[in-house]
Amino acid sequence: MSIKIKFLGGAKTVTGSSHLITAGKTEILLDAGLFQGHRDAFYEVNTTFHYNPRTIKAMVLSHAHIDHCGNIPNLIKQGLRCKIYTTSATKDLADLMLIDSGKIQEEDVRYVNKVNRRINIPLRKPLYTAKEASRATKIFRSISYNQKFCIAKDICATILDAGHILGSGTVVLDIKDGQNSLRLGYAVDLGRKNLPLLENPVIPQGLDYLIMESTYGGRLHRPIEEAQSKLREAISRAVRRGGKVLIPSFTLERTQEVIYFLNELLKDKLIPSVPIYVDSPLATNITGLFEHHLKFLNVKTRQAFDKGDNPFELLNLRFIREQKESKALNFDKRPMIIIAGSGMCESGRMLHHLQNNIEDSRNMILVVGYMARDTLGRRIVEKNPFVKIFGVEYELNAEVVVINAFSGHADQTELLDFVSECLPAGQAGLPLKRIFLVHGEPEQSQILGDILVQKGQNVHIPDKDEEVLLN
């Protein structure tokens, strides 16, 4: 039988990851991420399918980030009825993330339609609502790490710990074709070693083909241990001058890591004791799931919980749920730390905090995650003198500090090491049949691809909707 991969999303970009595996007449989806971009492109890309959702046999979901799971409710609306296999932590996290995604879309549509009514433009509908999103995880099936399960007669899958976020997985597909077999790995997104909360990534063995991310294919991270030191220096500097520290953060994983490091610094009295606010109902709920899914955390963190030392409970820490409380922070002139979404400053409560604080040179914007092109976060990182927030131009006077060591994505060295360890003992140095580089801006993918080719690997950087025959 013929075995094909169609790269539906996440090709030459870092958003909208989704890939269709066809083995004979069986169709399997790996992820169904939401393409995140400008409004018109958002609707066009996310509603255009070059396959029939009704014919999908199964989906394997790697993790709960919206760029990997965010289009699932829309697919269900279009006829998707298959089982979606993932870890129990991903199932619970995805439930929160998808409902929140639905709420954001409803709010966005309400805003846009106010304008459209005035200028006689057809009204929009959300891609899906919060209510529709709430139904999505009903078809999820929880799978344990290292548990081999069969999707079809000749196709089995295994989810290994990817070490990227809570419950994240590297997927391995074992496909039999008569007397022959094919082993395909899917490592998108891949975590790093020695992150504060998670176990190290588990590396699959004996792969024939590999679909792998390349987000930081041309970059090297500083050691994760440096993050704490840089965090200490930055916060201390801002507090000394009476400023606020604004930390745009992804609600899932990055927020929890930042809290962990702040806890360590406060325990050792290395930063001033100032109020710390997590201004996000979603982040609050997600943090609770970390405590519920302790088995997905590393040994050190589980032992801390066993001793009653919860890293998410700080004396100075307060979780903000109500919008009224969030707005009140902008009238509070005390030095403080505010952690809020979104991670790329494109939506959420962080926009309001930036609006009220970006022009004050005493304040600091502390960037702890990746900022994609064409986002407000990227313009802040690039220190544009003026930036637009809610359509109004503001002068960027606040100090901008970037701590890349926080990244949950493997860097160039870690990606190269991953590839080198994917073959069993005795075959080291032999190339995989092919490596497909996805989830990366073109220049990052190309740099990594060139190095892999120099090492003797067969590399392909696919285009969106490109289909490749494996055998």
**What pLDDT, on the 0 to 100 scale, is given for residue 7?**
98
| Residues 143-171, mean pLDDT to the nearest whole number | 96
**What pLDDT, on the 0 to 100 scale, is given for residue 391?**
82
**What pLDDT, on the 0 to 100 scale, is given for residue 424?**
63
**What pLDDT, on the 0 to 100 scale, is given for residue 405?**
82
For residue 355, name the pLDDT band (cuts at 50, 70, 90): very high
| Angle between the N-to-C axes of helices 225-240 and 254-267, in degrees from 0 to 180, rounded to the nearest 10 | 70
For residue 225, name the pLDDT band (cuts at 50, 70, 90): confident
The residue out of 352, 378, 406 marking a domain boundary is 406
| Residues 194-205, mean pLDDT to the nearest whole number | 93
pLDDT for residue 425 is more than 60:
no
Q: Name the phi and psi angles at 150, rounded to 5.
A: -95, 130
Q: In this structure, are 289 and 390 located in the same domain?
A: yes
Instruction: Report whether 78 contacts 46 (CB < 8 A).
Output: no
**What pLDDT, on the 0 to 100 scale, is given for residue 342?**
85
Report the amino acid identity of residue 90: T
Of 414, 16, 377, nearest in space to 219 by CA: 414
Q: In this structure, are 384 and 235 located in the same domain?
A: yes
Percentage of residues of the chain with pLDDT beyond 70? 99
pLDDT for residue 76 is more than 90:
yes
Q: In this structure, are 93 and 107 located in the same domain?
A: yes
| Residues 383-391, mean pLDDT to the nearest whole number | 93
Question: Which are the contacts of 135, defined by CB distance < 8 A and separation ≥ 6?
Answer: 73, 76
DSSP 41-67: HHHHHHH--SS-GGG--EEE-----HH
Where b means 16+ CB within 10 Å and e means fewer, 197-225 reads bbbebebbeebbbbbbbbbbbbeebeebe
Q: In this structure, are 101 and 236 located in the same domain?
A: no
pLDDT for residue 266 is more than 70:
yes
DSSP 225-294: HHHHHHHHHHHHHHHHTT--EEEE--TTTHHHHHHHHHHHHHHTT-S----EEEE-HHHHHHHHHHHH-G
For residue 347, name the pLDDT band (cuts at 50, 70, 90): confident
Q: In this structure, are 128 and 165 located in the same domain?
A: yes
Q: Is the dihedral of CA 24, 30, 32, 36 positive or negative?
A: negative
Q: In this structure, are 182 and 272 located in the same domain?
A: no
Provide the 8-state DSSP code for 329: G
The more confidently predicted of residues 180 and 66 is 66
| Residues 124-134, mean pLDDT to the nearest whole number | 95
H helix or E strand, kind and range, residue 299 = helix 299-306
Q: Tell me, what CATH number does 124's domain have?
A: 3.60.15.10
For residue 163, name the pLDDT band (cuts at 50, 70, 90): very high
Q: In this structure, are 301 and 229 located in the same domain?
A: yes
pLDDT for residue 427 is more than 80:
no
Q: In this structure, are 402 and 412 located in the same domain?
A: no
Residue 269, domain extent: 225-406
Question: Which are the contacts of 230, defined by CB distance < 8 A and separation ≥ 6?
Answer: 401, 403, 405
For residue 406, name the pLDDT band (cuts at 50, 70, 90): confident
pLDDT for residue 448 is more than 60:
yes
For residue 108, name the pLDDT band (cuts at 50, 70, 90): confident
| Residues 295-319, mean pLDDT to the nearest whole number | 91
Overall number of domains in the chain:
2
pLDDT for residue 269 is more than 60:
yes
Dist. CA 416–CA 419, nearest whole Å: 5
**What pLDDT, on the 0 to 100 scale, is given for residue 426?**
58
Report the amino acid identity of residue 300: K
Length in residues, the chain: 471
| Residues 308-330, mean pLDDT to the nearest whole number | 91
Q: In this structure, are 375 and 263 located in the same domain?
A: yes
Note the pLDDT tens digit of each residue in 14-28: 999 999 999 999 999
pLDDT for residue 13 is more than 90:
yes
The residue out of 383, 406, 429 marking a domain boundary is 406
| Residues 27-55, mean pLDDT to the nearest whole number | 90
Q: In this structure, are 203 and 231 located in the same domain?
A: no
Dist. CA 236–CA 234, nearest whole Å: 6
Question: Which are the contacts of 317, defined by CB distance < 8 A and separation ≥ 6?
Answer: 259, 262, 276, 277, 278
Mean of per-residue pLDDT scores for the chain: 93
| Residues 313-338, mean pLDDT to the nearest whole number | 93
The residue out of 406, 421, 443 marking a domain boundary is 406
Q: Tell me, what CATH number does 357's domain have?
A: 3.40.50.10890
Q: In this structure, are 231 and 325 located in the same domain?
A: yes
Q: In this structure, are 450 and 354 located in the same domain?
A: no
pLDDT for residue 341 is more than 90:
no
